[in-house]
């Protein structure tokens, strides 16, 4: 079946540093990928849509300069949390729809970010 991977699975960093999270579709191409964040005991909130070959589309209230998204290829999207602060600590999950499979969303396992 389709698989989406994320790397790293968890990361701890100091406040003020930048962290890059990768999302890869392993056996299919994805022109679009989605990034979500999830705070403890809350649901997933869509942050942005990553588009291969063009700029990402951000949801209202999400700072594009804070959360840099690059859809580098048809199988890779990256999310960089710049100048991270403790309030950015969260669970970040990506997903990719697989064309021809009713656009079923395949989710990565998530990346837990802790900013000290």
Partner 1 sequence: KQEVTQIPAALSVPEGENLVLNCSFTDSAIYNLQWFRQDPGKGLTSLLLIQSSQREQTSGRLNASLDKSSGRSTLYIAASQPGDSATYLCAVSMRFGAGTRLTVKP
Neighbour-count burial for 25-60, b at 16+ CB within 10 Å, e otherwise:
beebebebbbbbbeeeeeebeebbbbebeeebebee
* Binding of residue 21 to partner 1 (CB under 8 A): no
* Binding of residue 67 to partner 1 (CB under 8 A): no
Which part of the chain contacts partner 1 (CB under 8 A), choosing from 12-20, 45-53, 62-70, 76-84? 45-53
Which part of the chain contacts partner 1 (CB under 8 A), choosing from 19-27, 66-74, 81-89, 98-106? 98-106
* Binding of residue 84 to partner 1 (CB under 8 A): no
* Binding of residue 28 to partner 1 (CB under 8 A): no
Output the DSSP codes for 1-60.
Answer: ---EEEE-SEEEE-TT--EEEEEEESSS--SEEEEEEE-TTS-EEEEEEEETTS--EEPT
* Binding of residue 34 to partner 1 (CB under 8 A): yes
* Binding of residue 8 to partner 1 (CB under 8 A): no
Whether the Cβ atoms of residue 13 and residue 111 lie closer than 8 Å to each other: no
* Binding of residue 109 to partner 1 (CB under 8 A): yes
Binding positions for partner 1, rule: CB under 8 A: 34, 36, 42-46, 49, 93, 102-110, 112
């Amino acid at each position: 079946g389709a698989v989406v991977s994320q790397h790293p699975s968890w990361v701890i960093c100091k406040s003020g540093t930048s962290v890059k999270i990768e999302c890869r579709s392993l056996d299919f191409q994805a022109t679009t990928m989605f990034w979500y964040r999830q705070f403890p005991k809350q649901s997933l909130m869509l942050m942005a849509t990553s588009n291969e070959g063009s700029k990402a589309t951000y949801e209202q209230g999400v700072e594009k300069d804070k959360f840099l998204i690059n859809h580098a290829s048809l199988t890779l999207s990256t999310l960089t949390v710049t100048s991270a602060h403790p309030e950015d600590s969260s669970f970040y999950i990506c997903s990719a729809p697989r064309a021809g499979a009713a656009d079923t969303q395949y989710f990565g396992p998530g990346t837990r970010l802790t900013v000290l």
